[in-house]
A and B are shown apart, each in its own frame.
Chain A
Amino acid sequence: MRNYFLLLFFIIVGSSIQAQETAMSASEITAFKEKVIASAKTTKTIKTDFVQYKHLDFLADDVKTSGKMVFKAPNLVKWEYTNPYKYSVIFKEDQLLINDGGTKSKVDIGNSKLFKKLNQLIVNSVKGNMFNDADFTVSFFKSSKYNKAVFIPKDKKIAVYIASFELLFNKDDAQVYEVKMVEPSQDFTRIIFSNRVLNNTVDDSIFSN
């Protein structure tokens, strides 16, 4: 009997935790967007650590990789994986500069619209300011811990790769602290940022291979 009450207790507590996330009202959405846009405007540089989890349903554990990310306005981004291997990608104009454990290569993305779109997503998701992207339907949620924007692609070509794209924002400074990309198969990639430093000097030389 006691166990039964315990179980009931956990079900109620569990469901109330889940219920904590609710849709934002129209006025909340406006206020939230303004805050994110204002924050993105004053963000000239970002340096942050990140941990990436690749979830595949058939695996026992998510595949974990980690590293550092550097952003410099308006559109320079460097992703650098340091664990368990060294690999970096620099997003620079219409090129990707890759250093795969010492093997350097360059990819032109100028003529691939889809690739450009995917990269634009990565760059914009770092800043969070991508609400005006016409290619996505956006919905907004809130909880006591975070604000959340969920992007669903309208373009069928993107929908083959991404079922939805979620950004989680800190409540106080409106910075993105988690990115989640869900595939049509429901497998997903989560990237969680930590130790974020804003507006320190970032030298341009970081963005060359």
Chain B
Amino acid sequence: MIRFLAISFLSIFGLASCSLKTTEGLRQVHFNKTEVENPYFSNSEIDYVYKAKIEVYGKNFGGILILKKIGPENHRIVFTTEFGSKLFDFQFEGDTFTKHFVVEDLDKKFIVNILKDDFKLLVAESAKVIAVYESKNQRIYKTQADERFNFYFLDDKSEKLTRVVNTSKTKEKVEIDFISSEGKIADTIAIKHNNIKLTIDLEKFKKE
């Protein structure tokens, strides 16, 4: 009996320790929504232009991040220095990724892959919901992304998307936080990696 208790206790502890923080203590609920949407880069009329600050392993650099929806499920993303020289130029069309240009110093497979995954997650407009969780004032929509999962945090009252978390089965990998005053354009975006020391902070260009 004691042995049984010990095993079940250990297994509970073991299970708890490898479960995701993202959904810890949250109640799974029935869902009425089959798709969850990210509205922040979905208007093809808008040039989305952000000042970017990047910190990677304690080194800082900056630039201008330009995003544009150029067709259905088709986004162009260009990063330039403040002087306007292109550092990279990517296109995401459905599942097809095109590398139009990458400056020599950044053109390494692991860097391009990180950037590709981050920006794919950032601009993806909708995904099929596989589970829904409820917290005090938010609903969290779980979606499948290849071998991984994405969790979309929507505010109960405003219905604004405030956060997207990309996870493996057991660990949070990338977190994106959005602040939006009106819900359709993100004023600031913070992309944070948990397994590498990389953060990308974006601030929308102010209107003149």
Taking Cβ atoms with an 8 Å cutoff, the residues of A that contact B are 52, 54, 56, 58-61, 63-65, 79, 81, 83-85, 87, 89, 98, 100-101, 103, 105, 118, 122, 160-161, 181, 183, 185, 187, 189
Chain B residues with CB under 8 Å of A83's CB are 208
Contact present for B64 and A54 (CB under 8 Å): yes
The one of B47, B83, B100 in contact with A189, judged by C-beta atoms closer than 8 angstroms, is B83
Contact present for A56 and B62 (CB under 8 Å): no
Taking Cβ atoms with an 8 Å cutoff, the residues of B that contact A are 45, 47, 49, 51, 53, 59-62, 64, 66, 68, 70, 76, 78, 80, 82-86, 89, 100-101, 103-104, 203, 205-206, 208
Across the interface, name the chain B residue whose C-beta is closest to A188: B84
CA distance A63 to B66 in the complex (A): 9
CA distance A103 to B104 in the complex (A): 25
The one of B47, B82, B89 in contact with A61, judged by C-beta atoms closer than 8 angstroms, is B47
Across the interface, name the chain B residue whose C-beta is closest to A107: B61
Contact present for A54 and B45 (CB under 8 Å): no
Contact present for A101 and B68 (CB under 8 Å): no
Min CB–CB distance A132 → chain B (angstroms): 24
Across the interface, name the chain A residue whose C-beta is closest to B44: A60
Min CB–CB distance A114 → chain B (angstroms): 8
Across the interface, name the chain B residue whose C-beta is closest to A62: B47
Across the interface, name the chain B residue whose C-beta is closest to A189: B84
Chain B residues with CB under 8 Å of A65's CB are 64, 82
The one of B62, B84, B103, B205 in contact with A52, judged by C-beta atoms closer than 8 angstroms, is B84
> What is the predominant secondary structure among interface residues of chain B facing chain A?
strand
The one of B60, B70, B82 in contact with A105, judged by C-beta atoms closer than 8 angstroms, is B60
* Known interface pairs A52-B84, A101-B51, A181-B85; 17 further A-B residue pairs with C-beta atoms within 8 A, sorted by A's residue number: A58-B70, A58-B76, A60-B45, A60-B47, A63-B49, A63-B84, A64-B208, A83-B208, A87-B51, A87-B82, A89-B82, A105-B60, A105-B61, A160-B104, A181-B84, A185-B86, A185-B89
Contact present for A101 and B66 (CB under 8 Å): no
Contact present for A100 and B60 (CB under 8 Å): yes
The one of B53, B62, B66, B100 in contact with A185, judged by C-beta atoms closer than 8 angstroms, is B100
Min CB–CB distance B205 → chain A (angstroms): 5
Contact present for A103 and B101 (CB under 8 Å): no
Contact present for B60 and A56 (CB under 8 Å): no
Chain A residues with CB under 8 Å of B76's CB are 58
Contact present for B47 and A185 (CB under 8 Å): no
Contact present for B68 and A54 (CB under 8 Å): no
A54, A122, A185: which has the most chain B beta carbons within 10 Å? A54
Across the interface, name the chain B residue whose C-beta is closest to A66: B208
